[in-house]
Amino acid sequence: MKFIFNGNLFNDADALFGKINRAFLYGDFISEFVKISDGKLLLWEEHYFNLMASMRIFRMRIPIEFTQEFLEEEILKVCKENGTSNAKIKISVFRNPGNEMLTKSTVSYLIDVEKTFSQAEYSWTNDSSEIEIFKDYTINPSFFSQVNSHKPEEIIAQAFMQENEYDDLVLLNPDKRIARTILGVPFLIQGNHIKTPKIEEGGIRNVTRNHLTKLISKSENFSFEEAEIFPFELQKTDELFICLESEGILSVHQNRKKTYSTEKTKEIFELLNDSMSD
């Protein structure tokens, strides 16, 4: 079958566009983000098992060649071809068309460089940043929402964020509690106590988040909890930062009239980077 794309006629088998139509038309794909530091994949085992778990949740056939070693070689190959050893890599897996039984369909994968970094360490974005609560729609806190896949509510929220020149938006679940933000996972710091929303509140299974929560839990300088968090708590907390998957930390400086410091956030950032040498 032929199709038209941007005014040009293509054969279905001739173009990548034709091969990924389930991802394009139905959002039938999953993604995983991995940080490369000096040519080394950080937390790669955790990312690999997260990717495999996501494929199983979507009932995708896992190819026999999808070993941890094979995908690592593919990622490093992409980095080499792009001349980078410090980057954020995106792995996307999508179901191929051509089989009425979805569970018997083969899959394809796409590995690309999402972002490059000038340094090997995790990044700390400490520029002036403002966050707001998105109230037009809530997000589904179901088990499937924990997977990196198609999320139309985030696309709408991102358009709102850009139109109003915010740096990030807090997303709420149907119970009007904080689930996550567009960019990542929010952490609230009050004194030496740190808390973040429970995954069940609508968060995404995020390897960097899980790693950071373990580091904070083991630290003697902080107490930590995963909790149900209401929007009004943003006005009472001392500091607020966002954990960015396979990237680092974004310090938030303002929410409406409330301003935040970044003193303790700096300690958390140092804790994260120190873990790279463990």
Residue with token string 């996501």: 54
Among 4-13, 163-172, 185-194, the least confident range: 4-13
Q: What percent of the chain has pLDDT above 90?
A: 75
Residue ranges and CATH numbers for the domains of the chain are 2-120 (3.30.470.10), 124-277 (3.20.10.10)
**What's the confidence (pLDDT) of residue 72?**
97
Query: Which residues face 8 on adjacent strands?
Result: 5
pLDDT band at 145 (very low <50, low <70, confident <90, very high): confident
pLDDT at 173 over 80: yes
pLDDT band at 4 (very low <50, low <70, confident <90, very high): very low
Q: Which one-letter amino acid corresponds to residue 176?
A: K
Report the mean per-residue pLDDT for the chain: 90
Q: What percent of the chain has pLDDT above 70?
A: 92
pTM greater than 0.75 (yes/no): yes
Helix (H, G, I), strand (E, B) or coil at 186: strand
Mean pLDDT for 168-195 is 97
Instruction: Give pLDDT tens digits for 72-109.
Output: 999 999 999 999 999 999 999 998 887 778 888 889 88
Q: How far apart are CA 95 and CA 20, in angstroms?
A: 8
Cβ–Cβ < 8 Å for 93, 51: yes
